[in-house]
Amino acid sequence: MLDRFAIGTDDNLAESGGIRVQYGGDWILWIDVVAREVTLFASICFLVGGIDDLAVDIVYATRQLPRRIFGARGGASPLGARGGEAPIAIFVPAWDEAAVIGAMLRTALARWGDARFRLYVGTYPNDRATIDAVARAAAGDDRIRLVIGSAPGPTTKADCLNTLWRALLRDEAVEGRCGAVLLHDAEDVVHPRELEVFARELARHDAVQLPVLPLPHPASPFISGHYCDEFAEAHGKNLLVRRMLGAGIPLAGTGCAIRRDMLARIAEARGGTPFDATSLTEDYELGLTMAAFGGSTALPRVHDPAEGLVAVRAYFPATLATAVRQKARWLTGIALAGWDRTGWAPPLAVADHWMRMRDRRATLAMPVLALAYCALLLWGTASGVHWISGTAPMLPDAVLGLLLTLNFANLLWRVVVRAGFVWHGYGWRQALLSLPRVIVANAIALLAARRAAFAYLRMLAGAPPRWDKTRHQFPDDPGQATA
> pLDDT 10s digit of each residue in the chain, 483 long?
444 433 333 444 444 444 444 444 566 777 778 888 888 899 999 999 999 999 999 999 998 777 666 655 444 444 544 444 689 999 999 999 999 999 999 999 999 998 999 999 999 999 999 999 999 999 989 999 999 999 998 999 999 999 999 999 999 999 989 999 999 999 999 999 999 999 999 999 999 999 999 999 999 999 999 999 999 999 999 999 999 999 999 999 999 999 999 999 999 999 999 999 888 888 899 999 999 999 999 999 999 888 889 999 999 999 999 999 999 988 888 888 777 788 888 888 899 999 999 998 888 888 888 888 888 888 888 788 778 777 777 777 889 899 999 999 999 999 999 999 999 999 999 999 999 999 999 999 999 998 988 888 888 888 887 777 778 888 877 776 665
Judgement on whether residues 222 and 324 belong to the same structural domain of the protein:
yes
Judgement on whether residues 169 and 313 belong to the same structural domain of the protein:
yes
Judgement on whether residues 383 and 330 belong to the same structural domain of the protein:
no
**Maximum distance among all Cα pairs of the chain, rounded to whole angstroms:** 95
Residue 62 lies in a domain: no
Judgement on whether residues 327 and 384 belong to the same structural domain of the protein:
no
Residue 52 lies in a domain: no
Residue 269 lies in a domain: yes
Judgement on whether residues 222 and 327 belong to the same structural domain of the protein:
yes
Judgement on whether residues 344 and 383 belong to the same structural domain of the protein:
no
Residue 178 lies in a domain: yes
Indicate the pTM of the whole model.
Answer: 0.86
Residue 55 lies in a domain: no
Please state at what angle helix 128-138 crosses helix 101-112, rounded to 10 degrees: 20
Judgement on whether residues 192 and 253 belong to the same structural domain of the protein:
yes
Q: How many domains does the structure of the chain reveal?
A: 2
Judgement on whether residues 14 and 158 belong to the same structural domain of the protein:
no
Instruction: Work out whether strand 207-209 and strand 256-259 pair parallel, antiparallel, or are unpaired.
Output: antiparallel
Contact 189, 215 (CB under 8 A): yes
Residue 67 lies in a domain: no
Contact 49, 410 (CB under 8 A): no
Judgement on whether residues 395 and 275 belong to the same structural domain of the protein:
no
Contact 160, 273 (CB under 8 A): no
Query: Which residues, 6+ apart, have CB-to-CB distance to 170 below 8 Å?
Result: none
Q: How far is residue 126's CA from residue 96's CA, in Å, rounded to a whole number?
A: 9
Segments forming the whole domain that contains residue 407: 2-46+361-460
